[in-house]
Structure 1
Amino acid sequence: MRSLRRAIGWSATALATVLALTSLGGTAAAAPAETSAAASVGPVKLYVKGFGSGPLNVAEQSARQTGLDAAVARGFARSDCRVSAGPTVVNSLPNGWVQVHIEYLCTGEPVVGSPTFVLKRYHKSSDTLSTPWDAPVGYDLQGPLGTLYTAPNPGTHPLYLCQVRGDHFATTDVGCEGQTYVTRLGWLYGAPPAGVSSLPLLRCLRKENRQIFESHQPDCEGQIHGGTLGYLLP
């Protein structure tokens, strides 16, 4: 773990070497057998947008309301959300009205209606990102990786999304291996579950640009293998 933390700040060549030779028994980050304390589990953090139009005061009020309504629809309480950007006028209409945008950052434990959801991989030119939540604007869906639990189950541990210099990566470390925390993704198994089909979730590194990504293909799709994060349901 310490060598990997240092490596993220090193040159791309050094990072590739450490990821390819990750220790800790072949795992990409320390993976507890199962969640032992809620306090050690990081929160879900999602950005939610709202829009409104009309006279400025009406447009701002509408943007705030639609943003909070969108947060509630995602399972958050209104008190979980704080304005992270705006309200900002994004367009002025010929009749004197305006269109306003606002963004909330919601942090907590959203109510999720299903016990599982699908972890999907998204890509844009400079980054690959895996999440069961909404991907940021500009990312294209590459496909599903497998299924996460939305709450702890026996033999599972949390999976997180983190970021280093614009490059997203998944980890089982709530401390993000010394990098920037983005959100909790869900729970996956620490070992292949008995009597249940599963898929490995691997940390990989692209040879051409040293970009970190996740895969369930044993050969990391022909790229550099950086260790196993855990096991997903199909």
Structure 2
Amino acid sequence: MEKRPDFLEVGRQAIAASLITFEDAQQRHRESGDWYRFLSNKLIDNVEDGKSAPFTILTFNYDRSLDFYLYTAFRHALRIDGAELGVKLSNLKIIHLHGSLCRLPWQVGEGPARDYGDTNGDALITSANNIKIIHEQNEGTEVFKQAHAALNRAARIVFLGFGFHATNVRRLLAGGWLDLKQRGMIYASSHGMIHAERQAVERTFSEKIILPEAHSDCLGILRNVPGFLS
């Protein structure tokens, strides 16, 4: 679509149409090997133990499955709703760097809200208008400034399911956070990557990133990051 701007609108609509069909509120997400569940359990345990710290998720995905899953998991586990739940979730921030299929009703922000799984009326058009194609964004936009600020503040950084697309990597690194003196090692899932691809990523990140060959999927990485959410 970058080279055919005349297809941009229909392209967005095609993307939105394909993703909306997967929004099923009753779907049990990855019953085995479920990193969504592992992450939500860790976050909920910290809230219940009174040691919740700011936690930011940066995603290039348009879909809202993780947003919905975490909200639902918190609501069921803590048995609270409304403003009280909002307080518990106040330290959790999810930033969709290329937009999303609309914000969910409980999420604060600009733009229209749409219930998870709602396909009525103008849902498709509204969702399509809320997403950005990669060439429509750049590291100077407000959303990337928010991402850079979060990365600069982060005590620990983990990449999950990230494809290390050159443009996306360049835009993230533009924030200068990799060069901080106190920057600890970064962890990343690398499932499906060959050795040469891992080496290329390591060079790009100045050897400050760990991409293990064993237990390299998202769940395996989360379980093996030292002190993750502890």
Shared topology, TM-score over 0.5?
no
With the shorter chain as reference, the TM-score category is under 0.3
TM-score by length of 2: 0.22
Q: Which has the higher helix share?
A: 2
Larger Rg: 1
Structure number having the greater strand percentage: 1
